Every structure is written in C-alpha cells, then in structure tokens.
A and B are shown apart, each in its own frame.
Chain A
Amino acid sequence: MTTVSVAGLQVSYGKRVVLDDLAIELGVGVHGLLGPNGAGKTTLMRVLATVLRPDRGEVRLLGRRIDDRVGLRQARRRLGYLPQAFGFYPRFTVREFVEYFAWLREMPAARIPLAVDRAIERVGLLDRADDRMKHLSGGMLRRAGIAQAIVNDPRVLLLDEPTAGLDPEQRVEFRTLLRELGCDAVVLVSTHLVEDVAAACARVSLVDDGRLVFAGRPEELIAAGGDGDSGDSPIERGYTAVLRGARQVSR
C-alpha cells in the first residue's frame, strides 16, 4: 500500500507537548505541510522519517507498522528524507555524497552508479557532480540534498523546507520535479511559503500547535478565506482564516 497513516500521535520534549493526538492520512501525490513556526511540522517529519520515536500513537508507512524491526527496515529502504538543516562531508564530491546514501538505503550494488547519476541529473547538478561539496553554493547544496533523498526512488519522500536557498528559477524547476515524483510516490513537503503549496501540491495539511487543523485541496483552503482576512494572495487569506478559526475553537 502506498500510503502513510498516523493516528493518535503524541510527542513531547520534556514537559512541552509538540504533537498532540495528531492524525493524518497521506495518499500518492504531493502534499504540502503548512503551519506557523513551532507548530510541529519538523517534528512530524522526523517521526515519519523514523528518526524520532513518538511517545504514543500508531505510524504506518506503506501499510506497515514501523515498530517491529523487519517492518522498520523495509520502510527505511523505500524512504527518502531531506531534513531542514543538514550538513555535509566537505571532502565528498556530489557523486560520492549521493552514492553514500544509495548504499545506506541498501540499493542493489549494480544499480547504484546509474541511479546516482540519474538523481544528480534530475536536480540539475550533473555538471558539478565531481566537485567537492565544500565548493558548492547554498542552493546547490540543497539540490544535492534533494538528490540523495530521491536516489532510491522512494515510495515515501519527506522534504523539510526544500526550497530554502533556491532562486526563483530553481524553485520553478523544483516544482516540476515535485509533480513528477508525486505521480507514484507519497511526497510530503513542509514549507512556510504558502505559494509553493498552491503551485505544486495536490493536497494541503495545516498544522497548528501540534494538531492537524486542516486537510484538503488547495482550492478548499483558498475557499476558506474571505476578503476580510489578512494575506497578499487568496491562499494566504485562506491560511490565516483557517488558523484563526482553529485558535478560536481551542479557546
């Protein structure tokens, strides 16, 4: 099953509850994950990426629970993850960097070289493939990071703020890539740029204060906004309207 499903998810750091009884279902396609800073977007990403164990709740990736060893390992093979902040090994070339993660995700050895070059080509870095990472610009590093996330043809792809550092032209190219990837994989993109969502995502989820407050299509988010809501675009007005509504209810 190519789906991600989460129920009753609870995560706290110390006494602070970051995710509170969160439930979310994701099917094939590009999903935008929106929300204010500190709403719990990155925490949700980290739980789905299997790097953070939730305190409570059930997480299913590709129809399987990930709390047993076998299920976890199988899920990780089909997972691609780009964290919001990631470092790099300065002496690695782009090719070595992507190759390293192809190996870590247990791709068959014979398929790795070709898959590596395809991934680098898809993010438009092929002419810099043999450059060392320390010689790349911020936008290029981000694209190298995207390349490592897609090298294994993941069924579940998690991208945390992938457009940070990309220039406008690269962002347009990236949206095209997103739509291609969303044809047969669950792609979850967290962003604070509401316009990115309107342009590239088939569905939007809005998280506020550790809860899911909206799930639907971008048109539905736009429809939620009225003329009186603050924002420079229809979808921004929808975003602020839904947030305000959710906060009134919780009070």
Chain B
Amino acid sequence: MTGEHVSAQVLAAYAEERLTDGDAESVEAHLDSCDACRASLPPSEEVQRVVANVALALDDRLSTPGRVPPATGWRRVRVLVSAAPAVRAAWLLSVLVTGLLTLGLAVSPRTLPPWVLLLVAPALPVVGTALSYGPRTDPLHEVVAGTPQGGLRIVLWRTLAVLTVAMPAVVLAAVVTGISTPLLWMLPGAALTAGTLALGSLIEPTYAAAVVAGAWAVVVLAPPVGGLVVVAASAPAWLAVTGVAVVVLYARRERVGRQAG
C-alpha cells in the first residue's frame, strides 16, 4: 500500500482474488471507508456482463442522435476502398502512365519501343500497392496498425483497390504492344504484387517495392534471360513466384502492414 490508499497493484490482486485472507480483509476495511479506492476497483466479470447486456438493451430503445446512415455492404466497401488517398494516386498513375505510353507507341513504335511498356506496366501495381500502406504514405498508419483488422486484411483491401485499376491498364498495354496474350502479362503483375507484399512484411513497403521493381527491371533488360521472352515463355515461373510469395505472406501475416520493432 502506498500512503493512505491501496495501490493499483494490490487492488488488481484483490479483484482477482490473489490476496491472502488477511490482506483481503484489510483491503476491504479500507474500501469500506474510501470512495476513491472503491471507484478504482475493477468491476467483476459478472458485473461487466450485466452492464453490457443493459447497454445492448438500451441501445435499441434510445433515440438516435443524428441522421444515422444505414449499414449497407456497399457503403462499407466504398469507405474501405476510398480510405487510402495514396490508392487514388496509384490509380491515377496507372491510368496516366499506361495511357501516355500507349499513345506514344501508337504514334511511333520506333521512338518508343514496346519493351518500355513491358518494363512499366506490370510494375504499376507494385508501386500502387507500396503507396497504399505503411508509415510513410498512410497518414493514419499508427492508429490502423493497432486495430484487429489492421495488418494483412486492410493491406489486401487496398491492394485489391489498386489491382482493379492497374490490371486493366496492364491488359491494355498487352493489347497495344501485341506481345503475347493479356493473360500472360497479368501473371508477372500478380507475381510482382505478391512479392512486394511478402517482402513488405520484412522491410518497409516502399523499400520492398523498390527492390521488386528493380528486380523486374533486371529481368526485362538483362540480355541473357531478359527481353520479351520473359512474358511469352515463363508462365510457370511467374506462378511459382506468386506461390512462394503467398506462402511467405501467410507465414508472416502478423507482420504485414505493421511496423517492425
């Protein structure tokens, strides 16, 4: 006990019935005469249950304070998807970049060779994904990270938001360049995105995106392995990369979207 009052530690021990009978008796004697200590006694689980039930019952009867909007699934999806402003930046980026490159390609394939589009388009979802979460780009990262839906779940929602816009851009790029089929362009896009998420559980998402985008550039540009063959003939390899990334992501799901430290 500190001074005249019972310390928080002793009170907690008393509430959890960890005190000896003698100590409990002297705490009770003090509680009888001290409002302040009585007020800081934690309510028992039974009392908490009763209070929660009463609160639930009252909730339905009390008048609503304002114009309460209905809880529709559509509203939830809209709020979720529009949550990270950086997602919008990523959308804009995807559409703009692909649009410009496509236009350039249409005007003159010589000044703008198709491999530029191959280099850029599948990397767009990577950049978008990295922009949409993490302490650097999400202004509410700190609060979001402390919620049960915080980590992987919210990151996947935002990735989905990015992919819905970036993937059509990738397909468009495939159609314009005429290299291989659009589906085969989407495979490296998916692999790179999954890779970014997986790596983002180990290092900061922006760095993860830089590493993945750099690796992609090497694959596309390096003479021995690279070039346009990358898309045409390596679907199994991209599927394998995606698979490995998903496994890593699942194994480290608790670390995704949260700060290391």
A→B interface (CB under 8 Å): 1-3, 5, 25-29, 46, 49-53, 63, 69, 73, 76-77, 79, 81-83, 86-92, 95-96, 99-101, 103-106, 109-114, 116-118, 120-121, 126, 129, 148, 153, 184, 202-203, 215-217, 220
Q: A3-B42, A113-B71, A202-B40 are in contact. Are A101 and B65 (CB under 8 A)?
A: no
A235 vs chain B, min Cβ distance (A): 16
CB pair B48–A203 under 8 Å, yes or no, is: no
- B236, CB-defined interface residue at 8 Å: no
B143 at the interface (CB under 8 A from A): yes
State in angstroms the CA–CA spacing of A104 and B153 once bound together: 9
Q: State how many angstroms separate the Cβ of A76 from the closest Cβ of chain B.
A: 4
Which one of B7, B43, B83 contacts A184 once the chains associate, using CB atoms below 8 Å? B43
By the criterion CB–CB under 8 Å, are B12 and A76 in contact? no
Judged by a CB distance under 8 angstroms, whether B59 is at the interface is yes
In the complex, which of the residues B43, B83, B150 contacts A76, with contact meaning CB atoms closer than 8 Å?
A: B150
Complex partner residue of B8 from A26, A88, A113, A126, CB under 8 angstroms = A26
The residue of chain A having its C-beta at the shortest distance from the C-beta of B6 within the complex is A27
The reply to whether B9 and A25 contact each other, CB–CB distance below 8 Å, is yes
B259 within 8 A of A: yes
- Interface size (B, Cβ < 8 Å)? 52
Q: A27-B40, A104-B148, A217-B36 are in contact. List 18 more A-B contacts (CB 8 A).
A: A49-B146, A76-B146, A86-B140, A88-B139, A91-B85, A92-B83, A100-B83, A104-B144, A105-B148, A117-B65, A117-B66, A117-B68, A118-B65, A184-B48, A184-B51, A202-B39, A202-B40, A220-B5
Task: Tell yes or no: B261 within 8 A of A by CB.
Answer: yes
Q: Which B165-222 residues have C-beta < 8 A from chain A?
A: none
Contact of B149 among A25, A105, A118, A220 (CB under 8 A): A105
Q: Are B68 and A114 within 8 A (Cβ)?
A: yes
Q: Tell whether, in the assembled complex, residue B5 and residue A216 are in contact, meaning their CB atoms are under 8 Å apart.
A: yes
Q: Is the CB of A105 within 8 A of B3?
A: no
B66 touching A126, Cβ below 8 Å: yes
Q: Is the CB of A27 within 8 A of B12?
A: yes
Q: A25-B9, A91-B85, A202-B39 are in contact. Are A81 and B146 (CB under 8 A)?
A: yes
A89-B85, A89-B139, A216-B2 as given contacts; A99 in contact with B79, CB under 8 Å:
yes
Write out the residue numbers on chain A whose beta carbons fall within 8 Å of the beta carbon of B69. Answer: 95, 113
On whether the beta carbons of B64 and A117 are closer than 8 Å, the reply is yes
B80 and A86 contacting across the interface, CB-CB below 8 Å: no
Note all chain B residues with C-beta closer than 8 A to A96: 79
Going nearest first, the 3 A-B pairs with the smallest beta carbon separation are A87-B139, A104-B147, A76-B148
Instruction: Tell me if A2 and B43 are in contact (CB < 8 A).
Output: yes
Nearest CB on A from B57, distance (A): 13
